[in-house]
């Protein structure tokens, strides 16, 4: 068998940022994988993706179209969140292994349909929960597994995400398309909580969230009489003075040629564009083992970090992903220990993305079961969906309600 035949054949479904700049770039660097197909309803974007990646794949507008002609070993689904359910089910029913980026889907009901498809398929479905592969969180998990903290009864995570303001510029800011940011973004974190605590089931969720800053009242410049801001950075009269300018005019993926096909602007004004999600909020989850987790996320401010505190009955642990530091404070001694995790070597999301892909490739090669399953994806979507309902309806939401 030639080397070429031994390569795992991949299709990327959704040739936007994540599909191309993360998975596409990682796949072309590997000598055991090749991208045989790009799937995107926008043919200009997928053609630009092929050029950027310097590959010659087949192009399709949908997975169904692709399956009529070729069946790759695996598909990586990086289409918008509201398309995950349909794409995952078609891929699984079509006999493909699937790496599905988070969230599993934007509703628990859709998650259950994906789980049913995964159950009737003999194929692998792995979730793109890259935080589980983050070297700092992997170290934290191993410390918890060694019993360093004892029994964990409370976790707090504060997420500071400067880049999150750009959610307001694209589909992510539309509740109908992302399920809201407690699903789109928070599903990572709700999954990490469960994973760190060995998967207790979430029981109820409360959330207080809002859009306090990224609106028309908070434009970071003074409007001139008769001159409106927006609608997008490329056309905005205030582009030179706006500190939040996002210039993607030269982007091959999101330039005018691609926009002409589907009208998808990546640079809608984060202040004046319509949006239906929060820009900051707090949510609390209670689990069936009595543990609690608090996740707060804020997309305003200059900081990028996730800062965790884990309380166990033997120690308290503090973690900073950005500082790559874990400090263990034993409950009954002053013997504080700080673990420094080596800087990442340029892999996306602090070194997590290459390790996520590696785990998927290993699962494909060895037929290993996926470590992050559709069921895990469903629980994190459930926490996110409950958090969305909670802040929108001003009430605590029982997870069981989502399964009726
Ligand atoms: N795990 C992570 O850290 C992480 C980070 C960023 C994004 N994501 C996830 O990756 C996915 C893509 O996000 P993005 O920021 O790259 O979005 P994007 O808007 O940059 O790209 C989405 C692409 O999907 C295409 N598309 C639209 N409908 C489609 C369909 N039905 N089938 C196939 N393709 C379709 C669009 O044309 C576009 O090219 C989302 O699910 C997002 O939640 C995960």
DSSP per-residue codes, 164-194:
GGGGGGSGGG-HHHHS-HHHHTHHHHHHHHH
Mean pLDDT computed over 181-197: 98
pTM (two decimals): 0.96
Any atom of ligand 1 within 6 Å of the Cβ of 99: no
Q: Is 380 in the pocket of ligand 1 (CB under 6 A)?
A: no
CA angle 172, 177, 181 (to 5 degrees): 45
91 Cα–ligand 1 center, Å: 16
Look at residue 349 in the predicted model and tell me its pLDDT: 87
Q: Are 143 and 198 in contact (CB under 8 A)?
A: no
Task: Between 344 and 165, name the one with better pLDDT.
Answer: 165
Q: Is 52 left (phi over 0), alpha (psi -120 to 50) or beta?
A: alpha
Distance 79 CA to ligand 1 centre (A): 4
User: From ligand 1's centre to the CA of 306, what distance in Å?
Assistant: 23
Cα–Cα distance for residue pair 47/20, rounded to 1 Å: 11
CA distances to 101, 228, 289 from 199, rounded to whole Å, are 20, 50, 10
CB 343 within 8 A of CB 321: no
Q: How far is CA 78 from CA 14, 81, 110, 133, 378, in A?
A: 5, 8, 17, 18, 17
Q: Which of 13, 16, 63 to mutate to test the pocket of ligand 1 (most atoms within 8 A of CB)?
A: 16
**How far, in Å, from the CA of 310 to the mean position of ligand 1?**
32
pLDDT score for 343: 87
Instruction: Kindly state if the Cβ of 112 falls inside 6 Å of ligand 1.
Output: no
Q: Rounded CA gap, 321 and 340, in Å?
A: 10
**What integer is the mean pLDDT of 372-386?**
97
CB of 164 closer than 6 angstroms to any ligand 1 atom: no
The pLDDT of residue 6: 84
Give the pLDDT confidence of 11-35 residue by residue, as tens digits: 999 999 999 999 999 999 999 999 9
Q: Give mean pLDDT, residues 89-113.
A: 98
**pLDDT the model gives residue 364:** 95
Do the beta carbons of residue 271 and residue 308 sit within 8 Å?
Answer: no
The vertex-120 CA angle with 117 and 124, nearest 5°, equals 75
Q: What is the pLDDT of residue 210?
A: 97
Confidence of residue 370 (pLDDT cuts 50, 70, 90): confident
DSSP assigned state of 122: S
What pLDDT shows up at residue 344? 82
Q: Mean pLDDT over residues 143-157, rounded?
A: 98
Q: What is the pLDDT of residue 327?
A: 98
Cα of 19 vs centre of ligand 1, distance in Å, is: 7
Ligand 1: which atom is nearest the Cα of residue 262?
37
Ligand 1 and 17: CB distance under 6 A: yes
Separation of alpha carbons 313 and 334, rounded Å = 16
Model confidence at 350, pLDDT cuts 50, 70, 90, reads confident
List of residues 6+ apart from 1 with CB closer than 8 A:
none
Residue 191 in contact with ligand 1 by CB distance below 6 A? no
Residues of the chain with CATH 3.30.360.10: 133-214+275-350+371-403
Asked whether the beta carbons of 96 and 72 are under 8 A apart, the reply is yes
Q: For the segment 264-319, what is each residue's pLDDT rounded down to a tens digit?
A: 999 999 999 999 999 999 999 999 999 999 999 999 999 999 999 999 999 999 99
Residue 132 Cβ inside 6 Å of ligand 1? The answer reads: no
Residue ranges matching CATH 3.40.50.720 in the chain? 3-130
Q: What is the DSSP letter of 103?
A: P
Regarding the beta carbon of 206 and ligand 1, being less than 6 Å apart is answered no
Atom of ligand 1 nearest to the CA of 188: 1
Element (H, E) at 87: helix 84-93
Q: Is the CB of 251 under 6 A from ligand 1?
A: no
Q: Is the CB of 209 under 6 A from ligand 1?
A: no
**How far does residue 9's CA lie from ligand 1's centre (Å)?**
20
Is the CB of residue 41 below 6 angstroms from any atom belonging to ligand 1? yes
Ligand 1 pocket, mutate which of 43, 48, 79 (most atoms under 8 A from CB) = 79
Q: What architecture does CATH give domain 133-214+275-350+371-403?
A: 2-Layer Sandwich (3.30)
The finding on whether 172 has its CB within 6 A of some atom of ligand 1 is no
Ligand 1 in contact with 59 (CB < 6 A)?
Answer: no
Q: Average per-residue pLDDT in the chain?
A: 96
Q: How far apart are CA 370 and CA 216, in angstroms?
A: 44
pLDDT for residue 1 = 46
Q: Whose CA is nearest to atom 10 of ligand 1?
A: 78
Q: Is 27 helix (H, G, I), strand (E, B) or coil?
A: helix
- Find out whether the beta carbon of 35 lies less than 6 Å from any atom of ligand 1: no
Cα dihedral: 342, 344, 350, 354 (round 10): -120
Instruction: Report how far residue 260's alpha carbon sits from residue 362's, in angstroms, rounded to the nearest whole number.
Output: 40
Q: Please determine, for residue 376, whether its predicted confidence score (pLDDT) is greater than 60.
A: yes
pLDDT in tens, 128-141: 999 999 999 999 99
Q: Which residues of 304-323 are buried (b: 16+ CB within 10 A; e: fewer)?
A: eebbbebbbeebbbbbebee
**CATH number 3.40.50.1110 is the correct assignment for the domain at 3-130:** no
CA of 17 to the centre of ligand 1 (A): 7
pLDDT of residue 47: 98
């Amino acid at each position: 068998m030639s080397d070429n035949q031994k390569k795992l054949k991949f299709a990327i479904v959704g040739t936007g940022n994540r599909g191309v700049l993360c998975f596409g770039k990682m796949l072309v660097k590997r000598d055991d994988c090749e991208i045989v197909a790009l799937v995107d309803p926008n043919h200009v974007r997928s053609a630009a993706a092929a050029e950027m990646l310097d590959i010659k794949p087949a192009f399709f507008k949908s997975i169904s179209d692709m399956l009529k002609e070729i069946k790759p070993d695996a598909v990586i689904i990086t289409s918008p969140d509201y398309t995950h359910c349909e794409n995952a089910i078609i891929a699984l029913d079509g006999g493909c292994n699937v790496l599905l980026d988070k969230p599993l889907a934007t509703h628990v009901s859709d998650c259950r349909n994906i789980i049913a498809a995964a159950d009737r398929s003999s194929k692998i479905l792995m979730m793109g929960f890259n935080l589980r592969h983050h070297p700092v969180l992997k170290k934290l998990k191993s410390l918890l597994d060694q019993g360093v903290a004892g029994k964990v009864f409370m976790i707090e995570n504060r997420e500071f995400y400067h880049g999150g303001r750009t959610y307001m510029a694209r589909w992510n800011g539309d509740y109908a398309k992302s399920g809201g940011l407690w699903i789109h973004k928070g599903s990572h974190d709700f999954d990490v909580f469960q994973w760190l605590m060995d998967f207790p089931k979430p029981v109820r969720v409360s959330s207080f969230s809002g859009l306090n800053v990224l609106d028309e009242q908070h434009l970071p410049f003074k409007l001139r009489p008769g001159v409106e801001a927006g609608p997008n950075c490329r056309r905005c009269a205030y582009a030179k003075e706006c500190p939040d300018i996002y210039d993607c005019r030269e982007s091959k993926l999101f330039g005018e040629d691609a926009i002409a096909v589907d009208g998808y602007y990546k640079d809608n004004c984060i202040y004046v564009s319509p949006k239906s999600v929060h820009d900051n909020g707090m949510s609390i989850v209670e689990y069936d083992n009595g543990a609690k987790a608090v996740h707060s996320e804020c997309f305003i401010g200059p900081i990028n970090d996730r800062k965790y505190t884990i309380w166990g009955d033997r120690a308290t642990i503090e973690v900073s992903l950005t500082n790559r530091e874990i400090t263990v404070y034993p409950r009954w001694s002053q013997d504080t220990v700080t673990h420094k995790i080596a800087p990442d070597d340029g892999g996306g999301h602090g070194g997590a993305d290459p390790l996520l892909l590696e785990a998927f490739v290993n699962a494909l090669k060895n037929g290993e079961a996926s470590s992050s399953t559709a069921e895990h994806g469903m629980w994190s979507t459930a926490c996110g969906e409950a958090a969305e309902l909670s802040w929108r309806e001003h009430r605590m939401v029982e997870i069981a309600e989502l399964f009726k």
